[in-house]
Structure 1
């Protein structure tokens, strides 16, 4: 089964497009409290999750123990839920080959985010993996996406359209790996009409203040997922992880009605 098919199956089974972001931040109890926190987060949200998205930066910030925690977490994840590793890696092809092996073979995640700005040969090592997916950074959710990604070229295209051209090339060449895109909800206005109908990973909802209206009205058929991280893990209210995940999943679903 291809990655996009598996993700669509999960969306159909749950009725949810919620991607639960996993961004652990050690508190006063220290790093050793993180595994229990993550277990409670996963246990409380997996039934509502179309996907989970661990962010490498938060685990790397905890040093070698953080990498161990991530490895332990990935081994204990519910098999029903696709895992998108948010790594945003970018390097020359030979180095990327080792990143691909690490993530897809060693850790066996389902998809990974990539920075495509080194060009097509830098994403090729990720394209020959059956059942796997990549998400290329197209239009990110930060204000700085205007510095490069949304700049207009002389031929009328925007820079992010050069990114989507890489994904469309992979599709045209019949690559085993499905290519999708990261499109931030905060910057989606005027962008979505130019994005191919391939899987999207959509950050920017919740704490970043993105609005679902543009995405919901775009008439897309691909299995897009909308990420919420802080709004579930660190909402600062009395609700459980499960209640927060259910509320976000319902809010997203209602926007699509």
Structure 2
């Protein structure tokens, strides 16, 4: 089964496009020793509403070797029917990328990983022949600085349209790995979305970053897009359970962008 098929099935089964971001912060969690139990609780309470989970490498790496051990332990106990998108944003020359791909797809067996396409198509290729896996290339990120490069014009095209060419080329070449894009909700204007083809999108920026779900309404997309919420579930409205918050966000997303 291709990644897109697995994700589409999960979205249909849950009637949810919610991607639950896993960004553990010891400073907000009572210390590093509390993180494993916190992650287990978040996953246990939210998985029935989650189209996908997205652990962010930076938060685990910031806790040193123990953080990587926590990530590995968590990944070994995740619900098998929920795709895992590892948010790593790696970018390096092809030889080095081979080892990143082996690390994520073979050793940790995640379903998808985010990559920075700045170094070009050849640096994506080590990730493109993994059956059942996917990559999401950064196209229009959710931060204001996406205007510095991604939303600049090169001739009559935006830079993010050049990034989209990676998706087209991989599809035309029949690569085993599915290729989608990261498009931040905060910058998903009509002008941007009208230039984005129907490839799977990972859409951050909802919740703490203030993205507007109406940006995705009525666009006629059929790809298995997922919309991420991280802090809005893990570290906001702590009087509510993680499950209550996941249910709320899943319903908010469905109201504007039905599964």
* TM-score normalised by the chain length of structure 2: 0.97
User: What's the counterpart of residue 24 of structure 1?
Assistant: 24
- Aligned-partner SS, 1:206: coil
Quick check: 1:246 aligned with 2:247?
yes
1:32, distance to aligned residue in structure 2 (A):
1.1
d(CA) in 1 for partners of 2:238, 2:151: 36
1:237, distance to aligned residue in structure 2 (A):
3.5
Quick check: 1:5 aligned with 2:5?
yes
RMSD: 0.8
Counterparts in 2 of 1:87-98, with a 5 A limit? 87-98=88-99
Unaligned runs of 5+ in 1: none
Larger deviation, residues 230-239 vs 11-20: 230-239
Count of aligned pairs: 256
Quick check: 1:114 aligned with 2:118?
no
User: What's the counterpart of residue 82 of structure 2?
Assistant: 81
Cα deviation, 1:91-130, whole Å, max 9, x if unaligned, reads 0000000000000000000000000010000000000000
User: What's the counterpart of residue 222 of structure 1?
Assistant: 223
User: What's the counterpart of residue 187 of structure 1?
Assistant: 187
d(CA) in 2 for partners of 1:45, 1:140: 25
1:85, distance to aligned residue in structure 2 (A):
0.1
User: What's the counterpart of residue 165 of structure 2?
Assistant: 165
1:199, distance to aligned residue in structure 2 (A):
0.5
d(CA) in 1 for partners of 2:248, 2:113: 26
d(CA) in 2 for partners of 1:33, 1:153: 48
- Aligned-partner SS, 1:194: coil
Moved >4 Å (runs of 4+):
none
1:256, distance to aligned residue in structure 2 (A):
2.5
1:213, distance to aligned residue in structure 2 (A):
1.1
Quick check: 1:14 aligned with 2:14?
yes
1:216, distance to aligned residue in structure 2 (A):
2.1
Cα deviation, 1:51-84, whole Å, max 9, x if unaligned, reads 0000000000000000000000000101010000
Counterparts in 2 of 1:142-161, with a 5 A limit? 142-154=143-155, 156-161=156-161
User: What's the counterpart of residue 69 of structure 1?
Assistant: 70
Cα deviation, 1:10-63, whole Å, max 9, x if unaligned, reads 000000000000000003632111000001000010000000000000000000
d(CA) in 2 for partners of 1:199, 1:54: 18
User: What's the counterpart of residue 52 of structure 1?
Assistant: 53
* TM-score normalised by the chain length of structure 1: 0.98
- Aligned-partner SS, 2:118: coil
- Aligned-partner SS, 1:161: helix
- Aligned-partner SS, 2:245: helix
Unaligned runs of 5+ in 2: none
Cα deviation, 1:120-158, whole Å, max 9, x if unaligned, reads 00000000000000000000000000000000112x100
